Amino acid sequence: MRVLRAGAGSALLALGAITLSPVAAQTAPAPAPLIPLEAFATLPFIEAPRLSPDGTRIAARIAVHGKQRLAIIPLADKSKAASIDPAKQDLNDWQWVNDQWLVVRVGKSESVEGNDFYVTRAISVSADGKKLIPLVVDPLGQQADDILWTAHDGSPHVLIAMQRSIYADNDFWPEVRDFDVSTGRSKTVVHSTDTVMSWYADGAGVVRYGVGYTDQNRSYRALYRDQPTGSFHVIERAKGAGNSLDNYPALFLPDPGKALAIHDDADGFSTVYPLDLKTMTRGAPLYAVPGYDLDSLLTSDDRTQMIGARYTDTYQHTHWTDPVLAAIQADFDKALGNRRGEIVSWSSDRSQLLVKVASASIPGSYYLYAPKEGVLHLLAQINGQLAGKQLAPVKTITYKARDGLEIHAVLTLPAGRAAKDLPLILMPHGGPIARDDESWDWWAQFLANRGYAVLQPNYRGSSGYGTKFTDLGKGQWGLAMQDDLTDAVAWATHEGIADAKRVCIVGGSYGGYAALRAAQRDEGIYRCAVSFAGVSDMPGMIRYDGAFLNGGRTKDYFRERAPDLTAVSPANFAAEFSIPVLLMHGDDDRTVPVKQSRLMVSRLKAAGKTYRYVEQPGGDHHLSSEADRVQFLKELEAFLKQYNPA
């Protein structure tokens, strides 16, 4: 990593404020002008900012000239910001240890004895950005960055679980070390334990819990100790394909043996329960949201109590159990109108809060907020190129699938145009165990600005609507899950929103698979299909993912996706493709290997079908490069103009 001293703070916006008072009514929008596609493709200027414990600095990922860097910004003098170039490493995470130090997780692909590994490491960085200390020991294995705990008393200590070997010996299983981040020195606090890949620590920095897994017989065991120097013993087991441990602690409470766990209730929705780790019994439910799963728990800085939970219905909400933060959130909700204020970070005394203000139609900005003052002060816009632009309205709709299942979908409409007989982009999400909601989506907003209605169904198998809804996707890849997509098109045309003769399907990852499957299976529904990093050959994915650690479990997952994976693999049916296809893929994609698109292209070429293939050198699964984003939107725009013009 390379330290740069200039330029990090120059793009930060020091002026501007929001006083917490209700917003005025908005006038009716005029037809929206075209916005340069480069504005949509711009990397977020600032991501995941986090306040130091004393509230005087912010650490965040920023974009400078289309490249991502870590910035450490003193709020008193932003001109003294430090910018750290990760070079060819990914910036995966960062967190403050105390006011003087933070720890950063990085990763990159490396060739080890002829095999490609994604290698992760942790580095401590001084608050002024001048010192970088690798938190390593010799030797190390593939993963050495699992940060279990950071001190909350001002001392410079973290606990990191790390592998010491890539070979199948005792050192392959991670040990836990206590690092002094100011010196890089460390000591072992928990030794490697056979099959245990994951360790968990409580708020006091005591490693209390571990999960062991044996792939050969798909067996799990949970290890626990209630004393800092005690021995671990097995408290729960599970065995067999599809089974798992029931009671993962989400938060260890100060009372030894007590924890909070997130588990499904009787209706299959995730719920917070108290958990007795000695008896492995759950108490009465503490918090749930009817009809929706919880996204995450929010905990106190010392990780000893729950202070809130996040969940998503049509968009993400925060339910604060901390009364002070709940009152502040209520003020934001009243004052910001259609914008949403999310408290994302705070100083240890909560005198300084960092707040993200955004919506589905606004990329958003970050603000500093002092509760005593009651004013949001602008820190930085996420995408200044779109500031003040007329962007597309977004709402959630519901429709019925052909078997009567109710499905939610996100509808984005071109600003200033009547929602009648519009060209439609059907855009299924990736995952597929994921979901879309009313949050900022640069693909959807770009397409709407070009005149398209965009419909994003949360088809069966999506997450967030309970286990029963997610499980409806088992065995239905390319089958009922695909029917849900064509049923969404039928809803949009029946409502008069979409022109049935001008529909194209666009998706990435699983959404790319769905686009390819549509081109092969759903003749007459779509005029064209676009697949970014899509899967074309399901057995090929089993071979790829099955080669990684615990590949048997991964194979079980894929084998559950359809009764016959070969029969739902578009690459096997290139002759049946009925519409033009655009395929794009990065050649450094570690999630869906580029050979998936290469195989599909070779089959389409042999079958004499109409397609365009663009491979992005060094491109990943997430379009992390601004240049790749620009290329993707240019190719998408040109392809749609040719085959489904707005």
Which tens digit of pLDDT belongs to each residue from 507-517?
A: 999 999 999 99
424 and 547 share a domain?
A: yes
Identify which has the larger pLDDT, 634 or 88: 634
261 has pLDDT over 70? yes
How many angstroms separate the CA atoms of 464 and 453, rounded? 24
Which tens digit of pLDDT belongs to each residue from 491-507?
A: 999 999 999 999 999 99
What is the reported pLDDT for 512?
97
What is the reported pLDDT for 14?
35
What is the reported pLDDT for 332?
94
10 Å Cβ neighbour count for 297? 17
Which tens digit of pLDDT belongs to each residue from 73-98?
A: 999 998 899 999 988 889 999 999 99
What is the reported pLDDT for 201?
95
pTM of the model: 0.92
What is the reported pLDDT for 563?
87
> What's the total number of domains in the chain?
3
278 has pLDDT over 90? no
Extract the runs of DSSP E, i.e. beta strands, from 240-338: 249-252, 258-264, 270-276, 281-282, 294-299, 306-312, 316-320
606 has pLDDT over 60? yes
What is the reported pLDDT for 248?
83
In a domain, 12, yes or no: no
232 and 282 share a domain?
A: no
Which tens digit of pLDDT belongs to each residue from 307-346?
A: 999 999 999 999 999 999 999 999 999 999 889 999 999 9
644, 530 in Cβ contact below 8 A?
Answer: no
Of the pLDDT bands very low, low, confident and very high (cuts 50, 70, 90), residue 643 is very high
468 and 568 share a domain?
A: yes
Average pLDDT over residues 565-584: 96
How many angstroms separate the CA atoms of 130 and 6, rounded? 13
What is the reported pLDDT for 471?
94
Average pLDDT over residues 218-241: 89
11 has pLDDT over 80? no
In a domain, 490, yes or no: yes
How many angstroms separate the CA atoms of 538 and 565, rounded? 6
How many angstroms separate the CA atoms of 201 and 207, rounded? 4
149 and 177 share a domain?
A: yes
CA 601 to chain centre: 29
Single-letter amino acid code for the residue at 485: L
135 has pLDDT over 80? yes
159 and 277 share a domain?
A: no
Average pLDDT over residues 422-435: 96
Average pLDDT over residues 417-438: 96
Identify which has the larger pLDDT, 290 or 559: 290
255 and 175 share a domain?
A: no
Check which CATH number belongs to the domain holding 551 and give it. Answer: 3.40.50.1820
Range of the domain at 268: 246-291
434 and 579 share a domain?
A: yes
In a domain, 298, yes or no: no
Choose one of 276, 291, 306: the last residue of a domain: 291
Of the pLDDT bands very low, low, confident and very high (cuts 50, 70, 90), residue 380 is very high
Average pLDDT over residues 469-481: 94
113 has pLDDT over 80? no
Identify which has the larger pLDDT, 218 or 377: 377
296 has pLDDT over 60? yes
In a domain, 367, yes or no: no
Residue 524 neighbours by CB under 8 Å, 6+ apart? 578
In a domain, 84, yes or no: no
151 and 260 share a domain?
A: no
Beginning with the edge strand found earlier in the chain, give each strand of the sheet holding 294-299 in spatial order: 294-299, 306-312, 316-320
In a domain, 217, yes or no: yes
Task: Count how many residues are written for the chain.
Answer: 646
In a domain, 212, yes or no: yes
Which tens digit of pLDDT belongs to each residue from 168-220?
A: 777 899 999 999 999 999 999 999 999 999 999 999 999 999 999 888 888 99
Candidates 434, 515, 437; CA nearest to 469 is 434
Which tens digit of pLDDT belongs to each residue from 524-533?
A: 999 999 999 9
Of the pLDDT bands very low, low, confident and very high (cuts 50, 70, 90), residue 3 is very low
Choose one of 231, 266, 291: the last residue of a domain: 291
What is the reported pLDDT for 240?
81
Of the pLDDT bands very low, low, confident and very high (cuts 50, 70, 90), residue 112 is confident
Cα dihedral value 487, 492, 494, 499, nearest 10: -120
Give the chain's mean pLDDT.
91
586 and 444 share a domain?
A: yes
Candidates 237, 236, 282; CA nearest to 259 is 282
Identify which has the larger pLDDT, 248 or 413: 413
In a domain, 311, yes or no: no
**CA-to-CA separations, 517 to 229, 237, 428, 462, in angstroms, rounded:** 55, 39, 12, 18
Q: SS3 letters for 87-144?
A: CCCEEEEEEECCCCEEEEEEEEEEEECCEEEEEEEEEEEECCCCCEEECCCCCCCCEC
Of the pLDDT bands very low, low, confident and very high (cuts 50, 70, 90), residue 546 is low
Helix (H) or strand (E) holding 504: strand 498-508
Choose one of 275, 291, 307: the last residue of a domain: 291
251 and 229 share a domain?
A: no
216 and 287 share a domain?
A: no
**CA-to-CA separations, 11 to 1, 50, 416, 623, in angstroms, rounded:** 22, 18, 32, 23
198 and 217 share a domain?
A: yes
Of the pLDDT bands very low, low, confident and very high (cuts 50, 70, 90), residue 30 is low
Residue 279 neighbours by CB under 8 Å, 6+ apart? none
What is the reported pLDDT for 394?
97
Candidates 29, 51, 43, 7; CA nearest to 384 is 43
